[in-house]
Amino acid sequence: MLDEEEFEEVSTLYRTVFHRSTERTMEAIFAPVSQAYERLTGYAGCHPNTVMHHRIAQYGPPCTACGKPLRTPEARYCAACGKVRQEPAASSR
């Protein structure tokens, strides 16, 4: 997963090679994206289109029951286990 700074780097590279490449195969066109992702995460072999979905900000916090990330930051329940999300208590003044 990529934090915002890492995602900005990879997404900028993705847009650049998408619009400027003269290569014929998808692997050759997006090789710089795959290489950058591997450098940032240590994970080799991730498809470039998949890389664009590996953004931490796209997901919510971990579920308090099962630990899996909620599907969106606004999710009200965990899609994996069904636990209803507990919102932090509002501070009273």
pLDDT, tens only, 3-45: 999 999 999 999 999 887 777 888 888 899 999 999 999 999 8
* Mean pLDDT rounded to a whole number for the chain: 88
| pLDDT (0 to 100) of residue 2 | 93
> What is the rounded average pLDDT of the residues 60-84?
94
Instruction: Tell whether the model's pLDDT for residue 87 goes beyond 80.
Output: no
CA distance 9 to 3: 10
Instruction: Tell whether the model's pLDDT for residue 93 goes beyond 80.
Output: no
The alpha helices in 1-93, defined as continuous H runs, are 4-20, 26-29, 31-41, 48-51
Residue 25's nearest CA partner among 17, 35, 37, 15 is 17
Rg (CA), the chain: 18
